Amino acid sequence: MKAEKAAQIMKRIGRFEMAQANIKAQAKAEVAAVNAQCESMVKDEQRKIDYLKDIVLAPLEAFVRAQLSGKNDGKTYKTLWGNVSFPKDRDIFKVEDKTAALEWGKVNLAELVEVRSSVEEVLPAKALEAHFKETGEVPTGCSFTVGVERLKLTAAAKAEVKS
């Protein structure tokens, strides 16, 4: 009797495990379907944003630049719904290849090349950047990225509605 009872219990456990596996598989399929639907919805909303930006931002930028021309700060246009501004990313000067920059410096800025030990010569990055700022010449082994001015919209704080 005990072996028969144990076999029945093992069959029940097996059925429960199968039901559990089916539930997990179904849940996984439903999650995948919901994720796909959400992804599609997000892409649809992004298309709407891109469309509105395409038809609104260029004329808005032209209008705001016209309004700001001749003003002292010339960077921010205040409206009831927020501000429109034109911040500029900072310029970036970077020494990418120290060896090439050092070789260039030996020829063009020999007076700035430092010997820190008997085997090591260096040309300080600050000296290279100062030379670039002064002359506009980008030394070999260095790069310069101009900061980009971009349109920025800042929404005004929501006013409290009193009844």
pLDDT tier at 163, thresholds 50, 70, 90: very low
Q: Taking residues 74-97, what's their average pLDDT?
A: 82
Let me know if 84 is exposed, middle or buried by CB neighbors in 10 A (0-12, 13-18, 19+): buried
Give one DSSP letter per residue of 127-162, joined into a string: HHHHHHHHH----TTEEEEPPPB--EEEEPPPPPP-
Q: Where is pLDDT greater, at 28 or 87?
A: 28
Give the whole-angstrom CA distance, residue 149 versus residue 86. Answer: 6
Q: Taking residues 46-67, what's their average pLDDT?
A: 83
**pLDDT, tens digit, for every residue of 135-153?**
888 888 888 888 888 777 7
pLDDT at 28: 93
CB atoms under 10 Å from CB of 47, counted, come to 10
pLDDT at 156: 66
**Helices 98-108 and 125-135, axial angle in degrees (round to 10):** 60
**pLDDT, tens digit, for every residue of 91-117?**
888 888 888 888 888 888 888 777 776
Q: Where is pLDDT greater, at 147 or 21?
A: 21
Structure tokens given for 124 = 């300080």
pLDDT at 161: 38
Global confidence as pTM:
0.39
